[in-house]
Amino acid sequence: MRAVRDHERAVDALRRSYAAVPAGETVRLAKQTSNLFRPRSAPRVPGLDVRGLTGVLDVDATARTADVQGMCTYEDLVDATLPHGLMPLVVPQLRTITLGGAVTGLGIESTSFHNGLPHESVTEMDVLTGAGELITTRPLGEHAELHRAFPNSLGSLGYATRLRIELQPVGRHVALRNIRFTRLEELVDAIGEVVDKGAFGGEPVDAMDGVMFSPGESYLVLATFTDQADGRPSDYTGQEIYYRSLRRRTRDVLTAYDYLWRWDTDWFWCSSAFGVQHPVVRRLWPQRYRRSDFYHKIVRFEHRHQVAARVDRWRGRPARERVVQDVEIPLARTPEFLRWFAAHVGMDPVWLCPLRLREPAGPGSARAWPLYPLQPGETYVNIGFWGSVPITPGAADGDVNRQIEHMVSETGGHKSLYSDAYYDRAAFDRLYGGETWRAVKDRYDPDHRLTGLYEKAVSRA
């Protein structure tokens, strides 16, 4: 646990490093990790000093809250809460996603069908604004406008240095039911049943996500937190690979810790791109490097040096378009989107994660998140796909991503902004609360020292 005095010193260091950035230069965090996928321009001045803002300040097991520094990874946060039998209301799947990053850049996980998104359980937040002031925001009160506009602002309004979040109880184990569907309509009906009843087939459900291998083969994973587990928990951090288990097992048990990080070990299934799922390579690949942040480093190296792209060119293979996206589609339109995706993009597997705005809304929440306006009472399914497709003759890089953006809008959905986006400014403003963002920006960053949201998300500034 980090002492309050150390936290204050770290905030001072951050403020000093902010003041040292010359006007007109891009302000950027000097963070060790990132889960952003779009390439960014190289910074010309040193980034903000956030080294001392990576810890947990306090876990209040009685009130079920935690005070956490803005750049604390969920891995460290969970390490602090699990010994109390508690976890954050939503724990994104990748270990090095930070709390501040998930609140400003959005996050989602299998508890999102009843807990909403990570920002919905933030009751208080210290923010260093673009104007260089440190203010405390809450869902109601003087700075409520900033509190509500912060989610999906991607650091364009200010940086969170401390957040108070709600926690929830979790058992020592998680019992899983892997349910197979051959028709997407049946999958959607099952999601609807879990959302309505908090149970399926009479058994309670605490968390739910799924995987589609093809429109004729999809799985829902229904999880129940428990202290009593039948049998020894499975281990997917060694030779076994988690996503493959969905096809082999109808029931499973994991420790709570392994459940939270079940997707990190193989970066969902994306570790196959590095050969890590081949039995021989897997045995030789050190366990400490079977983690999403290590794979991400390899991808960043590839972005910089284009090794695979050069090998492809040399072998006469077509260039490839990166298709790395998470989109949210209303439940009723999900089969239509998934069939279109299978026919026109053809990447598999895809990750499925139902979500709704939290009900009842968190303490004091006005339920308005203007920069990512999901409809209250509507169930969405987050559909995640991460890979690349060949650029076909006559097509250009970005065409498939543009078609996806079009289809997302057609089906009444939304797209998160951690990866490539191609919207024009008018469409972007309409979809992501442009008017509100500008008003909040003018109030808290009047000289526009922090990079704008459109510039970050679309122009890759």
Ligand X SMILES: Cc1cc2nc3c(=O)[nH]c(=O)nc-3n(C[C@H](O)[C@H](O)[C@H](O)COP(=O)(O)OP(=O)(O)OC[C@H]3O[C@@H](n4cnc5c(N)ncnc54)[C@H](O)[C@@H]3O)c2cc1C
Q: How far is the CB of 38 from ligand X (least distance, A)?
A: 9
- Best CA proximity match to 354, nearest among 336, 321, 332, 339: 332
Alpha carbon distance 361, 347 (integer Å): 36
**Cα–Cα distance, 405 to 411 (Å, whole number):** 10
Work out how close the CB of 394 gets to ligand X at its nearest, in angstroms, rounded to a whole number.
29
Least separation in angstroms between residue 268's CB and ligand X is 8
Contact window for ligand X (CB under 6 A) among 33-41, 136-144, 311-319, 389-397: 33-41
Q: Which is nearer to ligand X, 89 or 394 (CB)?
A: 89
Interface residue with ligand X, options 418, 428, 437, 454 (CB under 6 A) = 418
How far apart (Å, rounded) are the C-alpha atoms in residues 30 and 47?
Answer: 4
Distance CA 302, CA 155 (A): 26
To ligand X, the closest distance from the beta carbon of 31 in angstroms equals 5
Report d(CA 87, CA 81) in Å as an integer.
6
- The residue whose two tokens read 């605490």 is 206
Among 17, 54, 65, 93, binds ligand X (CB under 6 A): 93
Q: Which stretch binds ligand X (CB under 6 A): 131-139, 151-159, 187-195, 338-346?
A: 151-159
Among 113, 159, 225, 243, the residue binding ligand X under the rule CB under 6 A is 159
One residue of 13, 37, 229, 429 binding ligand X per CB under 6 A: 37
The residue count of the chain comes to: 461
**324 touching ligand X, by CB under 6 A:** yes
Structure tokens at 196: 């309505």
Rounded to a whole number of angstroms, the minimum distance from the CB of residue 36 to ligand X is: 4
Nearest approach in angstroms of CB 228 to ligand X is 29
Residue 447 CA: distances (Å) to CA of 83, 151, 155, 161, 439: 45, 21, 15, 21, 13
308: helix, strand or coil = helix
Query: For ligand X, which stretch binds (CB under 6 A), given 101-109, 203-211, 244-252, 395-403?
Result: 101-109
Question: In this complex, which beta carbon is closest to ligand X, that of residue 330 or of residue 452?
Answer: 452
Amino acid at 35: N
Say which amino acid occupies 344: H
Select from 7-15, 107-115, 244-252, 369-377 the region that touches ligand X (CB under 6 A).
107-115
70 binds ligand X (CB under 6 A): yes
Decide if residue 102 touches ligand X (CB under 6 A): yes
Q: Which stretch binds ligand X (CB under 6 A): 31-39, 138-146, 181-189, 333-341?
A: 31-39
| 104 near ligand X (CB under 6 A) | yes
Residues 6 or more apart whose CB falls under 8 angstroms from that of 110 comprise: 207, 208, 209, 221, 223, 353
Burial 141-169 (b: 16+ CB within 10 A, else e): eebbbbbbbbbbbbbbbbbbbbbbbbbbe
Q: Is 34 in the site for ligand X (CB under 6 A)?
A: yes
CB of 93 to ligand X, least distance (A): 5
Taking residue 293's Cβ as centre, other Cβ atoms within 10 Å add up to 19
**How many angstroms from the chain centroid is the CA of residue 121?**
15
Does position 437 bind ligand X by CB under 6 A? no
Task: Name which position in 52, 88, 101, 139 contacts ligand X (CB under 6 A).
Answer: 101
Q: Which is nearer to ligand X, 161 or 251 (CB)?
A: 161
Considering the rule CB under 6 A, would residue 456 count as an interface residue with ligand X?
Answer: yes
Structure tokens at 396: 């250009």
Q: Which of 55, 88, 107, 434 binds ligand X (CB under 6 A)?
A: 107
Q: Indicate which single residue of 17, 65, 98, 137 sits in contact with ligand X (rule: CB under 6 A).
A: 98
Question: Using the rule CB under 6 A, is 52 a contact of ligand X?
Answer: no
Residue 353 — φ and ψ, nearest 5°? -145, 105
* Structure-block tokens of residue 192: 């609807």
What's the gap between Cα 279 and its chain centre? 29
Concatenate the DSSP letters of all residues of 287-345 into one string: GGG-SHHHHHHHHHHHHHH-HHHHHHHHTTPPPEEEEEEEEEEEGGGHHHHHHHHHHHT
Structure tokens at 296: 């991400």
Binding range to ligand X, per CB under 6 A, among 102-110, 201-209, 356-364, 389-397: 102-110
Contact positions vs ligand X (CB under 6 A)? 29, 31, 33-37, 70-71, 92-93, 97-98, 100-102, 104-105, 107-109, 154-155, 159-160, 324, 326, 384, 386, 418, 456
